[in-house]
Chains A and B, each alone.
Chain A
Amino acid sequence: MANAEHVIQVEGLKKTYRSGILGRRTLQALQGVDLQVPQGSIYGLLGPNGAGKTTLIKILLGIVRKSSGGATVLGLPAGKPAARRRIGYLPENHRIPRHLTGRTALEYYGALSGLAVGEVRRRMPELLDRVGLLGREKERVSGYSKGMQQRLGLAQAMLHKPDLIVLDEPTDGVDPVGRKEIREVLRNLASEGATIFLNSHLLQEIELVCEQVAILTKGVVRRTGSVAELTSAMEEAPMVFDLHGATPETVAGCFSGHHKLETAPGRDGLVYGRALIKEQSELDAVVDALRAAHVSIVSMKRRELTLEEAFLDIVKEEN
């Protein structure tokens, strides 16, 4: 059921690719995807290669036909021209015709989105400034670097002021400064009310910019939520200790085997320890044992997981 607050609503979406003579070879790219992308959010889509991320995006844009299930975009069936009119899309490894200049490319894609040339020209300076291409618009695209092409692609996706911007690896080939600028652009767009659906291999990028994340593996959405929710949901966050007055052997005697203790000598006689301790009672017992062995606990904290760790953990879990 389409929800007005959800820009993208996907339910039980399936896609099977057929190939070979008479289509007898099949590949199930999506196996029942459920997803809701709230309006005005920056939503990240994560998944290993072949998980079905691009297939999902292409179905939302009508580039690939679904096999079954439902998908609406902006309250309209996915792929309908009316929906596409309100979407800006930057595909991965996109190719803008080489005979165009930055300016004519924007005029071309603007017209394809239904904009008059005058309107495109009016919006162009601000847009080019935003993506850092102002002053380079008269150059041929064939002379653009990968990063410049990426910025131009982003500009064309924003040109018609879409309600939803779908970006597939938007920072691919862009230098660190450029990435920061692009992140800034995305945040501004979100603040202006646009919804951004971001697909990136760079987990750090997602972590930095996305409010909500979905992890897709083998054609199924495994986790959704904020980055914090995803990382805190991990049960095996390790406890990290800085201990003084002990040898690694002494420390090891205070932990049991299933804590998977890892130690390393530190500076000034310190010993670093890392152990998986789930229950509070176990933690209390370990602290008591350390103190009984006259080991000083300089610091002790539960380390937060990164998104990458959470992602790898989920992927490992599925495998």
Chain B
Amino acid sequence: MRAYLAILKDSYREARASRVLWISLVGIAIVLLLLAPINLSRETAVSLRRVELAFPDRMLEKVSVEKEQDGTPSAHLWSLLSADQQKRVTELMEGKGGRSRRGPGGGPHGEIVQTLNNLLKNEKFYDASVWSGLELSEEANSLVDEGELEGDTAQRRNLLLLAAAFPEGIRLVDDTSLGLYYANAEIIGELPFPPAQINRVIEFGVTAVLGFFLGIIGVFCSLLVTSGVIPRTFEPGEIALLLSKPINRSGLFLVKFLGGCTFTLLYASVLVTGVWLLLGVRLDYWQINLLWCIPVYVFLFAIYYAVSAVAGAVWRNPIVALVSVVIFYIGLKTVEITQLQMKREMIDARAIREVVIAGDDVFAVDGDQKTYVWNAEELRWDERLKKTASGMAALMRGSLAANYRFVPVYDSAADRVLALQPSAGRFARVGPPTLVAGYRENDWERESLGRLPEMVQSLYLDSSGRILLPAKEAIYEYVGQTDKEQKRADFLNNVTGGFFGGGRAFRRVSVDDMPELGDEFASALHTQTDDLYLLGNGQLCRLSAGEDGGYRVAATVEFDTQQRSVVAAGGEVCVVAQRGGRVAVCDAQTLKILSDSESLIGGNPRVLTASPDGAAVALLTHDQQLLLWDAQTGEQRDWTPSAKGKVNAVSFSEQGRLLTSDGRLAAIEYDITAESETQRWAERPSWAYGFYDSFVYPAWSLLPKPAELTGFIPYVMGGEPFPEDGPPIATEGDTDSLEQDDEQFEAMGVLTSNGLFIGVLLLFGCVYVSRKDY
């Protein structure tokens, strides 16, 4: 052991003797010293933050309605705007805001926030006659009572009055704000996010800084310095001397490898500890977990260094060792990008996610939400119900639609398929969807039937053929409209961004007491009873239609969690599956919970559906697990077709046959009573699938994924990785859809796969040096 410790110590000495290390350390010290004067100061909030203008469309709506009514806050604010500003706000109201830019101040949303903040500084903002009559907070009342105010106090009062006047659009989230200072000089007076989110923003910043200085610069410098350690060790003059000592060759190689890692250890320790101390002392952000970055980056370095070490031992040349790492990196990136692109653009985009039987035709919807009909002669899927938008609009719609299922529903009476097409609202949000239809007689060409008055995620056909659309505020029924009405609705759609676009096509069928569902709710139709089941805010309700066709709450049950859920009802049961894996089976009538399992499924649920004949309920999860329940007894069935391959879709035909897809281009029908496959509609995959399956995927699986290690930093600090496009500053109205693919960070998986790669390489290195004659 003494000998190996000596080798390790020698590696440390070697690292310490390196000029690159000292230059790097001086560089780190300079960066830390430059960052040291940064400071945050908490002050009373006097400006409106972007996240606090949660619903700009609702606020603008109110302004547009009330701006002519003298004495209202809207009219007062409107009068304070210059002609140019009024013109611009009018454009924004009409949805002509232009392209949304990234960043806190970007896009129409940011523009409105900026306009309002300018107004808050306006001396004429406060007019007692305008703002009286509002329900004010205690603080607002006391500021109003103080009379004439100036500066920040006046601005604070104005902010509170603004929030009180537009509660439907503005939700103040914090009384204080953070200011950014550098050596007591103000850099940003008010940061554009609430103080409560400062930690996540710091974590994002730290991840970015460490990712650059450690993940890129650090690893590169370390490789530059250490690539010569092992080749030098195995040079004839040095190895002969070392091997004459009573040490093991594999031990020598492994300890030299570990010794090489000491360079990164030193580098990472200094930088991370420096950042940790800086954040703690200057920003009062003491996050001990930040120190986990040190081993994480050493581990990241170890992946590349393992390649360098083996190449160094084999060829005994530092340049060859370094070039080997570069080639390995390029190869790794090539495989990674190829796999990612092929999976995203080909495998996932074309994978069948929905299967629907429409009379004699079979419809399938792929990952890109393109709809296809099966061509039995050519044995391929032909696109139908083609999207009407193109170019930028299609891209925008595609992006917004990613969170929603596009599920065609077959209306046999009219021989058409119906679907809800997500629409873009203003401010880069999803607006109420449009009901679209494709008729067989028109070769399933997509046409619009009208835009919903509010957000709806599902449509149902009841036993009498009524098209039902449950929303947060009401349950709607599509009743159709004339061409003239349709044209007028389209016009209003464009002008109001969808608020008045529904026209007379939809009528409310819910009666008075709609339950408080919240923005995120799930719904289901019981096809035998025509009862609707709504689940939101932790409450499951059954609504029954009366003789007048109006829906009323017939039963409710409380759930103790408010996780995002999916629900399905059929036969004697109603099944609820929640994010996190909880599955509850309830009595369809009384909603009494019959069974409740906290973690029945591994992944999050994606689709829950009941067979029209009331025989079964099927649940599909994001990890392609398929579960079946007997809808009469509520018992889970043993048989599922999941063992026969990946399952990517689930639905039932009119006859109660289970419809799934294989995760590729095949739709499959099963007889769940006979527990057998009855039909398959499969397009022959192109050569690209073969290339992916035979080369790209195996290579990607076998190779390590060092890039995934960067996900560790937010994982150890905040518990979950950041999205690709920035820190997670949540705003109200953001969706948390179950349709989005689960991309959970698998810490152990990342460690295992990368660790395995290092292990295999080092094993190869050990075998090589043990058998080599030096």
Residues on A facing B (Cβ under 8 Å) = 17, 58, 61-65, 81-82, 84-85, 87, 89, 91, 93-97, 99-100, 104, 107-109, 111-114, 116, 153, 156, 166
Please, which residue of chain B has its CB at the minimum distance from the CB of A18? B773
Q: Which residues of B contact A153 (CB under 8 A)?
A: 241
Q: In this assembly, does B7 line the interface, its C-beta being within 8 Å of a C-beta of chain A? A: yes
Whether B773 lies near A64 (C-beta < 8 A) is yes
**Complex: A109 Cα to B243 Cα, angstroms:** 11
Contact of A94 among B9, B17, B238, B246 (CB under 8 A): B238
Known: A84-B244, A108-B9, A113-B246. 15 other contacts (CB 8 A): A61-B243, A64-B774, A65-B773, A89-B241, A91-B240, A91-B241, A95-B241, A96-B241, A100-B13, A108-B10, A112-B242, A112-B245, A112-B246, A114-B2, A114-B3
Chain B residues 1 to 40 lying within 8 A of chain A, measured CB to CB, are 2-3, 5-7, 9-10, 13-14, 16-17
Task: Enumerate the 10 nearest inter-chain pairs by beta-carbon distance, A residue then B residue, closest first.
Answer: A95-B237, A111-B6, A99-B17, A89-B244, A112-B245, A81-B246, A91-B240, A64-B773, A85-B246, A84-B246
- Given known pairs A94-B237, A95-B235, A97-B238, the reply for A63 and B244 (CB within 8 Å) is yes
In the bound complex, CA of A116 to CA of B10 (Å): 15
A82 touches B10 (CB 8 A): no
Residue in A63, A91, A93, A97 whose CB lies within 8 Å of B773: A63
Contacts of A64 in B (CB 8 A): 773-774
Chain A to chain B contacts (Cβ below 8 Å), 13 pairs: A17-B773, A58-B240, A58-B773, A62-B243, A65-B773, A81-B246, A87-B244, A91-B240, A95-B241, A97-B238, A111-B2, A114-B2, A153-B241
- Could you tell me how many residues of chain B have their Cβ less than 8 Å away from some Cβ of chain A? 28
B236 at the interface (CB under 8 A from A): yes
Q: Which residues from A are CB-within-8-Å of B9?
A: 108
Q: Which residues of A contact B248 (CB under 8 A)?
A: 81
Structural contact, B774 and A58, CB atoms closer than 8 A: yes
Question: Once bound together, how far apart are the Cα atoms of A95 and B239, in whole Å?
Answer: 9
Q: Which residue of B lies closest to A89 (CB)?
A: B244
* A262 CB, nearest partner CB in chain B, Å: 46
Residues of A within 8 A of B238 (CB): 94-97
* A127-B2 Cα distance, complex, nearest whole Å: 22
Task: State in angstroms the CA–CA spacing of A82 and B247 once bound together.
Answer: 10
Q: How far is the CA of A82 from the CA of B246 in the complex (A)?
A: 7
Binary A-proximity of B209-247 (CB < 8 A = 1, otherwise 0): 000000000000000000000001001111111111111
Q: Give bound CA distance, A44 to B242, whole Å.
A: 23
Contacting residue for B5 out of A87, A94, A111, CB 8 A: A111
Q: Is the CB of B244 within 8 A of A61?
A: yes
A contact residues around B235 at 8 Å (CB): 95
Task: Quote the shortest CB–CB distance from A13 to chain B (angstroms).
Answer: 14
Q: How far is the CA of A84 from the CA of B237 in the complex (A)?
A: 18
- Contact across chains for B13 and A99 when beta carbons are under 8 A apart: yes
Which single residue of chain A is at the shortest CB-CB distance from B252?
A: A112
B245 interface neighbour in A82, A99, A109, Cβ under 8 Å: A109
Write the chain B residue with the least CB distance to A93.
B237
A113, closest chain B residue (CB): B245
| Nearest CB of A to B314, in Å | 14
What residue in chain B is nearest A115 (Cβ atoms)?
B2
Take A82-B246, A89-B244, A109-B245 as given contacts and tell me if A99 and B773 are in contact as well, using a CB distance cutoff of 8 Å: no
Does A112 contact B14, Cβ atoms closer than 8 Å? Answer: no
Q: Does the CB pair B774–A63 fall under 8 Å?
A: yes
User: CA A85 – CA B237 in complex, angstroms?
Assistant: 19
Query: Measured between C-beta atoms, what is the minimum distance from A253 to chain B in Å?
Result: 60
What distance in Å separates the Cβ of B552 from its nearest Cβ neighbour in chain A?
Answer: 84
Which B residues fall within an 8 A CB radius of A? 2-3, 5-7, 9-10, 13-14, 16-17, 232, 235-248, 773-774
Beta-carbon contact of B2 and A116 below 8 Å: yes
By a CB distance below 8 angstroms, the chain A residues around B6 are 107-108, 111-112
Q: A62's closest neighbor in chain B, by CB? A: B243
Residue from the list A81, A94, A104, A166 in contact with B13, Cβ < 8 A: A104
Taking the closest CB of chain A, its distance from the CB of B192, in whole angstroms, is 51
Nearest-Cβ distance from residue B7 to partner chain A, whole angstroms: 7
Contact residues in A for B10 (Cβ distance below 8 Å) = 97, 100, 108
Cβ distance A291 to chain B, nearest Cβ, rounded Å: 63
**Closest chain A residue to B237 by CB distance?**
A95
Nearest CB on B from A220, distance (A): 20
Give A94 to B239 CA distance when docked, in angstroms: 9
Which B residues touch A107, using CB under 8 A? 6
CA gap between A96 and B239 in the complex, in Å: 10
Question: Are the C-beta atoms of B240 and A63 separated by less than 8 Å?
Answer: yes
Residues of A within 8 A of B243 (CB): 61-63
- Report B-chain residues with C-beta under 8 Å of the C-beta of A87: 244
Contact B14–A97 (Cβ < 8 Å)? yes
Instruction: Report Cα–Cα, A104/B16, bound state, in Å.
Output: 14
With most chain A CB atoms within 10 A of its CB, the pick from B13, B236, B246, B774 is B246
Cα of A62 to Cα of B245 in the assembled complex, Å: 10
Minimum CB–CB distance from B38 to chain A (whole Å) comes to: 38
Whole-angstrom distance between the Cβ of A112 and the nearest chain B Cβ? 4
Q: Which residues of B contact A97 (CB under 8 A)?
A: 10, 14, 232, 238
CB distance from B241 to the nearest CB of A (A): 5
Closest to B243 in A: A63
Cα–Cα distance between A81 and B247 once the two chains are bound (Å): 7
Q: Which residue of B lies closest to A86 (CB)?
A: B246
Count chain A CB atoms within 10 A of each CB in B16, B17, B240, B243 and give the residue with the most: B240
Give the complex CA separation of A246 and B655 in angstroms.
Answer: 136
Report the minimum CB–CB distance from B252 to chain A (whole Å). Answer: 9
Q: Which residue of A lies closest to B248 (CB)?
A: A81
Q: Which residues from chain B contact A81 at a C-beta distance below 8 Å?
A: 246-248
Query: Chain A residues with Cβ under 8 A from B245's Cβ?
Result: 84, 109, 112-113
Q: How many angstroms from the CA of A63 to the CA of B244 in the assembled complex?
A: 7
Across the interface, which residues of B come within 8 angstroms of A166, CB to CB?
244
Q: Is the CB–CB distance between A91 and B13 below 8 Å?
A: no
Complex interface: chain A residues within 8 A of B774 (CB): 58, 63-64
Q: How far is the CA of A58 from the CA of B9 in the complex (A)?
A: 27
Known A-B contacts A89-B241, A94-B241; A112 and B7 likewise in contact (beta carbons under 8 Å): yes
Which of chain A's residues has its CB closest to B3's CB?
A112
**Bound CA span A183–B80, Å:** 104
Residues of B within 8 A of A58 (CB): 240, 773-774
The minimal Cβ–Cβ distance linking A49 to chain B, given in whole angstroms, is 16
User: Which residues of the partner chain A approach B16 to less than 8 Å between Cβ atoms?
Assistant: 99
The interface centre, meaning the residue of B2, B5, B244, B246 with most chain A CB atoms within 10 A of its CB, is B244
- Whether the pair B773, A94 counts as a contact (CB closer than 8 A) is no
A127 to chain B, nearest CB (A): 17
Q: What residues of B have a CB within 8 angstroms of the CB of A109 in the complex? A: 241, 245
A58 to B236, CA, bound (A): 12
User: Which of A62, A65, A91, A100 has a CB less than 8 Å from the CB of B237?
Assistant: A91
CB-CB < 8 A to A99: which residues of B?
Answer: 13-14, 16-17
Point out the residues of chain A lying under 8 angstroms from B239, CB to CB.
Answer: 63
A81 to B252, alpha carbons, bound, how many Å? 14
Query: Are B773 and A111 in contact (CB-based, < 8 A)?
Result: no
Complex Cα distance A61/B774, Å? 11
Please, how many angstroms separate the alpha-carbon atoms of A84 and B248 in the complex? 11
Which residue in chain A gives the minimum CB-CB distance to B233?
A97
User: Which of B5, B7, B14, B237 gathers the greatest number of chain A CB atoms within 10 Å?
Assistant: B237
Among residues of A, the one whose C-beta sits closest to the C-beta of B236 is A93
Residues of chain A with a CB closer than 8 A to B14's CB: 97, 99
Report the minimum CB–CB distance from B586 to chain A (whole Å).
Answer: 71
Q: How far is the CB of A54 from chain B (nearest CB, A)?
A: 9
Tell me the complex Cα distance, A109–B245, Å. 8
- With contact pairs A63-B240, A94-B240 given, residues A112 and B17 touching in the complex (Cβ less than 8 Å): no
